[in-house]
């Protein structure tokens, strides 16, 4: 059975199913109760499951994560909402120094099944601290899993898979795509949590990205096709660990790769993927792996975000440079 949901509603349905099937799952976050969160992802859940399972927390991100660590030690599976990406930094010490390390510190005897939902990225014209792409901080931190859905079906299933994980998961939700609709298969997930996916077949250049950038890559691929260039598009889905199999197979067929991301390019996820692909598929490459990213400056005011964020034209320019080698 399938239904057509926007991503925000798919996440709501996935959280509802997790709450229904496991009474140790609980939600915590600022304004997630009667309001349903800023983006209404938790709308109606407190009404149906009560304030002891859907908990409106104080405005204290460090306290939210610290409380979740204790709850996880007690056998619960907390799912936390950080209201905006830029608000996660007050909780950074709890996430990177405690949550990510406790299982290793106890030699596997203590599990940390905590999910941290973070709406992230640009394209909504928000103010400072409300538009960030902080994925590199978390992918750099051993002990954390990091994932990001780009469509409604993945959102529905990946949030449930993340909740089932015995390890802490940073769940990055592309806020610009909350209202993007898509078919959701309610019967079974298409892929495991940490699998990457080819979303468009092509022969000339491999385009790779995650979250909201996947839509932009598909737009670029469609424009490239009209100019006679066939681009394959891969949705990374999992940022840590990375499923390199489909990327490497694709690059060995096309000989070229462009990675696109909203985050700044210096020491980024794109840097790591470019280096790994060049190490493991060097003799198949006809050109260096190219990166298209945000610039190495703080995320700009709303009027300048169109200049800062990669668009289809910037991706096509990289495709042309790759083909020119």
> Which pLDDT tens digit goes with each residue over 212-236?
999 999 999 999 999 999 999 999 9
* Parts of the chain belonging to CATH 3.40.50.920: 197-324
Asked if residues 6 and 181 have their Cβ atoms less than 8 Å apart, the reply is yes
In 3D space, the residue among 102, 34, 43, 35 whose CA is nearest the CA of residue 68 turns out to be 102
Exposure letters 233-265 (e unless 16+ CB within 10 A, then b):
bbbbbbbbebbbebbbbbbeebbbbbbbbbbbb
Asked if residues 285 and 256 have their Cβ atoms less than 8 Å apart, the reply is yes
Catalytic residues: 130
Reported CATH class of domain 2-185: alpha beta
Q: Give the separation between CA 155 and CA 41, rounded to whole angstroms.
A: 11
Name residues of the chain where pLDDT drops below 50: none
Check: pTM over 0.85? Answer yes or no: yes
Q: Give the separation between CA 270 and CA 273, rounded to whole angstroms.
A: 5
* Parts of the chain belonging to CATH 3.40.50.970: 2-185
* pLDDT at residue 124 in the model: 75
CATH topology of domain 197-324: Rossmann fold (3.40.50)
Could you check whether the bond before residue 16 is cis, i.e. omega within 30 degrees of 0? no
* pLDDT at residue 261 in the model: 97
List, for residues 244-301, the tens digit of each pLDDT value. Answer: 999 999 999 999 999 999 999 999 999 999 999 999 999 999 999 999 999 999 988 8
From edge to edge, which strands make up the β-sheet containing 25-29? Answer: 54-56, 25-29, 77-81, 115-120, 169-174, 145-147, 238-240
Residue 128: both structure tokens together: 């400072």
């Amino acid at each position: 059975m399938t239904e057509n949901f926007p991503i925000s509603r798919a996440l709501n349905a996935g959280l509802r199913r997790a709450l229904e099937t496991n009474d140790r799952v609980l939600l915590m976050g600022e304004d997630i109760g009667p309001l349903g969160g800023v983006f209404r992802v938790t709308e109606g859940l407190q009404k149906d499951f009560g304030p002891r399972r859907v908990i409106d927390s104080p405005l204290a991100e460090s306290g939210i994560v610290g409380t979740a660590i204790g709850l996880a030690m007690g056998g619960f599976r907390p799912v936390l909402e950080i209201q905006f990406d830029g608000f996660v930094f007050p909780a950074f010490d709890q996430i990177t120094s405690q949550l990510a390390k406790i299982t290793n510190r106890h030699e596997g005897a203590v599990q940390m099944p905590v999910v941290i939902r973070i709406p992230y990225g640009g394209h909504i014209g928000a103010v400072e601290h409300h538009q960030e792409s902080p994925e590199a901080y978390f992918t750099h931190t051993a002990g954390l899993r990091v994932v990001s859905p780009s469509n409604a079906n993945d959102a529905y299933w990946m949030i449930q898979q993340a909740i089932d994980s015995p390890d802490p998961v940073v769940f990055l939700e592309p806020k610009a795509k909350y209202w993007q609709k898509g078919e959701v298969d309610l019967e079974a997930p298409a892929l495991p949590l940490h699998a990457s996916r080819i979303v468009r077949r092509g022969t000339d250049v491999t385009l790779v990205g995650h979250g909201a950038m996947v839509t932009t890559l598909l737009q670029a691929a469609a424009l490239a096709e009209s100019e006679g260039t066939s681009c394959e598009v891969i949705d990374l889905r999992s940022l840590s660990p990375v499923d390199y199999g489909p990327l490497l197979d694709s690059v060995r067929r096309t000989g070229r790769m462009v990675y696109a991301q909203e985050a700044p390019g210096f020491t980024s996820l794109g840097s790591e993927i470019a280096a790994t692909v060049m190490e493991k598929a060097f003799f198949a490459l006809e050109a260096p792996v190219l990166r298209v990213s945000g610039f190495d400056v703080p995320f700009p005011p709303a009027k300048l975000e169109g200049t800062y964020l990669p668009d289809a034209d910037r991706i096509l320019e990289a495709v042309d440079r790759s083909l020119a080698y």
